[in-house]
Copies of this chain bind each other. A is one copy, B any other.
Amino acid sequence: MSSADHSSPESNQGAGKEILEEFNAKVGQKVEVETIDGFVTTGLLIPRYEHADSEYIVLKLKSGYNMGLKAGNIKRIRVVEAQASVPKVESHPIAKNSGKKNLLLFSTGGTIASRVDYRTGAVYPALSAQDLYAAIPELDDIASIDPEVVFSVFSENMGPKQWQLLSEKIVQRSNEKTPHGIVVMIGTDTLAYVSAALSFSMIGLGIPVVLVGAQRSTDRPSSDGALNLKAAATFAVESHMPGVFVAMHENENDDYIAVHSGVRVRKNHTSRRDAFESIDIPLVARIRENQITKNSAEEVKTRKISDSVKFKTKFEEKVSLVKFHPGFDLSILDYLKSDRKVKGIIIEGSGLGHVSSAAVARISELTKNGVFVGITSQCIWGHVDLNVYETGRDMINAGATPLENMIAETAFAKLSWALGNFDNIREIMLTNVVGEFTPRIPLSQD
């Protein structure tokens, strides 16, 4: 996904093509369209994709989304702008050693470092950290920024291998530059997995590492990228909170940016700007303009972290995350063990962490063969508990390890990290290393 899709403008054909010709409108132009029932909308005329109906024309709206309009329903088309302008990124000198705090800004790709190809409507990763820094000059008021492109991919293409590469790069550059804080720009699809992974691999760094993304690309008016990035930079250099965090919109307005714990955050909506939520805990902080308000209920926990877990940047690839479901094909577990030689599996059980009774024997086979089996819940919120029902107790006897209320994504990343760096996997998985477990709600109220 590192190149744009340059669909041919010729792909507007059929009735769609005819109506464009009738009103002398062309792909790439900003047009106003009125339908026969009086609906008026403005957008950028983009080509249909091959699979689309030739009866339609497609507009890219201000929101960034595409709208198909049936040719037969169109009353008129008016060209508003013959050639839609592409925002120009100005070159901007990068200030250094000006007495300001130092921030390392890493770019890995994703929407925040993307732009729309105005001819095709495709979003692709293109802006470098330098470009973004140049596009958002206010960053210069926040810190002295040292930008670097690590790679340029959408986050669904990042796995343990990329997590390790990114971790090693951050440690290496931090040693060279001794920054006050670090910001990592990343795609939102697997941002929460990566924030969990870095939460473990960055132990020992002693400074804030803030992951930030965007749900809309930066050249859209509705983009959340600039505000998220400024807040992330502010938190990185001003909060004095070591650890890994995620900074994204707290609501749909452009006012508050939420700071989440890197191990307790999840993307809970496909498209909203406030898609990210802290699970089972309050926000770490919120940011408005350059003001950081830390959550007073969440005082900075000075967790004792043993030297043995510091700067462990390896990630094991032979790990799986499996969601249990009704009629789940148990043989998948055997396949993962025998054919794929996985070293660990995180199971998203149902309810308190259950699998079917028939699955228990397979778990036993896995653990007898040295495969770590960790149990989380697909409910997302709340603690697993394998002591309430008989199935759960059977699962424990079969060697499964219940993982408190660690969210599945965090458990997966932690297991990859544990297997990459340690031998005492079960002990590591059951240790609350960086706040990946939170206390159970008091029993009397539950």
Interfacial chain B residues near A65, Cβ < 8 Å: 385, 388, 443, 446
With contact pairs A123-B389, A269-B382 given, residues A51 and B317 touching in the complex (Cβ less than 8 Å)? no
Per-residue contact bits, chain A 23-53, to B (CB 8 Å; 1 contact, 0 not): 0000000000000000000000000011100
Copies in the complex: 2
Interfacial chain B residues near A321, Cβ < 8 Å: 323, 325, 328
Selecting from A171-179, A201-209, A349-357, the interface stretch reads: A349-357
Interfacial chain B residues near A413, Cβ < 8 Å: 326
Name the CB-closest residue of B to A192. B350
Q: Does A267 sit within 8 A of B, measured CB to CB?
A: yes
Q: Does A272 sit within 8 A of B, measured CB to CB?
A: yes
Q: Does A369 sit within 8 A of B, measured CB to CB?
A: no
Q: Is the CB of A385 within 8 A of B49?
A: no
- Residue in A66, A320, A381 with the greatest tally of chain B CB atoms within 10 Å: A381
The CA of A326 and the CA of B396, in the complex, are separated in Å by 27
Interfacial chain B residues near A288, Cβ < 8 Å: none
Interfacial chain B residues near A187, Cβ < 8 Å: 351
Q: Is the CB of B66 within 8 A of A387?
A: yes
Per-residue contact bits, chain A 58-79, to B (CB 8 Å; 1 contact, 0 not): 0001111111000000000000
Q: Is the CB of A385 within 8 A of B271?
A: yes
Beta-carbon contacts under 8 Å, A372-419 to B: 377, 379-385, 387-391, 393, 396-397, 405, 409, 412-413, 416
The CA of A349 and the CA of B323, in the complex, are separated in Å by 13
Per-residue contact bits, chain A 80-96, to B (CB 8 Å; 1 contact, 0 not): 00000000000000000
One of B49, B156, B327, B396 near A161 (C-beta < 8 A): B327
One of B160, B267, B352 near A327 (C-beta < 8 A): B160
Q: Does A302 sit within 8 A of B, measured CB to CB?
A: no
Q: Is the CB of A61 within 8 A of B443?
A: yes
Q: Is the CB of B336 within 8 A of A329?
A: yes
Interfacial chain B residues near A324, Cβ < 8 Å: 156
Q: Is the CB of B319 within 8 A of A381?
A: no
Beta-carbon contacts under 8 Å, A187-205 to B: 187-190, 193-194
The CA of A303 and the CA of B378, in the complex, are separated in Å by 31
Q: Show 9 A/B contacts (Cβ-Cβ < 8 Å), sorted by A.
A: A3-B390, A49-B387, A65-B446, A156-B326, A160-B326, A194-B326, A252-B445, A270-B405, A323-B348
Residues of A in contact with B (beta carbons under 8 Å apart) = 1, 3-5, 49-51, 61-67, 122-124, 154-161, 163, 187-190, 193-194, 252, 267-272, 275, 317, 319-329, 331-332, 335-336, 339-340, 342, 348-358, 377, 379-385, 387-391, 393, 396-397, 405, 409, 412-413, 416, 443-446
